[in-house]
Structure 1
Amino acid sequence: MSRTDGPGPELTSRLGYLLKHAQLRMAELNTKALAPYGIDGRELGVLFVLAGREPTSQQQAAQRLGIDRTTMVAMLDTLEGKGLVARQPDANDRRRNVVALTDAGQDTLRRATEASDAAEREFLAQLGPQAAQQLRNSLQTIVTHPEQEQS
């Protein structure tokens, strides 16, 4: 397909189209970067949530990631099978499982983060440092600040 066969300005001027295709490209780069570590982007997100904190419950991790408990359990099963996380009953509440990174999980998180950061730099390279930071800041504002209701 040549460049003239691609989407025209009626699509490339639409924010939804641009965000979708930017996310697809970023996901492609990130998937390639994380492959040597045996994890995907969602699993890296779980490792981030569990890192640097006191052991957290499965439910707390699910809430922080915005996913349901069933999905969280499945993801933790996978990560536990890879030796990256460990679950154990909470000493204060045996109904609750706490989850923490294993040593292998901490090492994988460190190396996978470096690879993911490199993928982000590649993705943003065409923008230059200032525009890349502005894009990141703008998206962060949109994602982390809920809409204020209009009066």
Structure 2
Amino acid sequence: MTTERDLGPQLSARLTYLLKRALIDLEHLHAEYLAPVGVSGRELAVLLLLDSHSPESQQQVAGRLGVDRTTMVALLDGLEAKGLVTRHADAGDRRRNVVELTGTGRAVLGQAVHASDEAERQLLADLDDAESAQLRTLLTRLARTVRSPRTDGSRHS
């Protein structure tokens, strides 16, 4: 296991490093806990989105998740092969493919959410409930703040 001493204080205190390290750890935990359910973390994100926005077009799902069209098609192909989603032409616009959860998809989603919750509990095991809630609150605030790259070369003071 890499320690602060191995990395040095400048790197180990950088937000980029800390967030990336937490993400890598959570991805490994998700892989471990989701494997018995038969879905990946990326597939879980698609299922969660469809559960709250179904029916959606492939393009809408890709846009909401911030993934390119090719990646979305591959994700949906995999989910469809597992019988978790179905795609069909929209009755109102035949050019548009609509994606919906199947009954099996809803059942697997419930199992996957439980597994994901356990992975998150493992990641946050060293934090108490208040600290875990505070971390979620702070990350939610950061995630909801829309930032665009500065193009004029100036910096915030």
What TM-score, normalized to structure 1? 0.91
- Work out the CA distance in 2 between the residues paired with 1:4 and 1:42: 30
- Gap change, CA 1:4 and 1:23, over 3 Å in 2: closer
Aligned counterpart, 1:61: 61
Amino acid in the other structure paired with 2:144: T
Aligned counterpart, 2:87: 87
Q: Which moved more, 1:67-76 or 1:36-45?
A: 67-76
Equivalent residues of 2:54, 2:99 under 8 A apart: no
Amino acid in the other structure paired with 1:34: L
Residue aligned with 2:146, SS: coil
Amino acid in the other structure paired with 1:109: L
Root mean square deviation of aligned Cα: 2.1
Aligned counterpart, 1:106: 106
Equivalent pairs, count: 151
What TM-score, normalized to structure 2? 0.88
Residue aligned with 2:147, SS: coil
- Work out the CA distance in 2 between the residues paired with 1:3 and 1:67: 33
Map Cα deviations across residues 48-77 of structure 1 (whole Å, 9 max, x no partner).
111133411111111110111221111101
Identity %: 50
Residue aligned with 1:86, SS: strand
**How far 1:12 moved relative to its partner?**
1.6
Aligned counterpart, 1:142: 142
Map Cα deviations across residues 33-60 of structure 1 (whole Å, 9 max, x no partner).
1001111100000001111334111111
Structure 2 alignment gaps of length 5 or more: 151-155
Map Cα deviations across residues 66-119 of structure 1 (whole Å, 9 max, x no partner).
111221111101110111100011011111111101111101100000110011
**How far 1:10 moved relative to its partner?**
2.6
Q: Any runs of at least 4 consecutive aligned residues in structure 1 with deviations exceeding 6 A, and if so which?
A: none
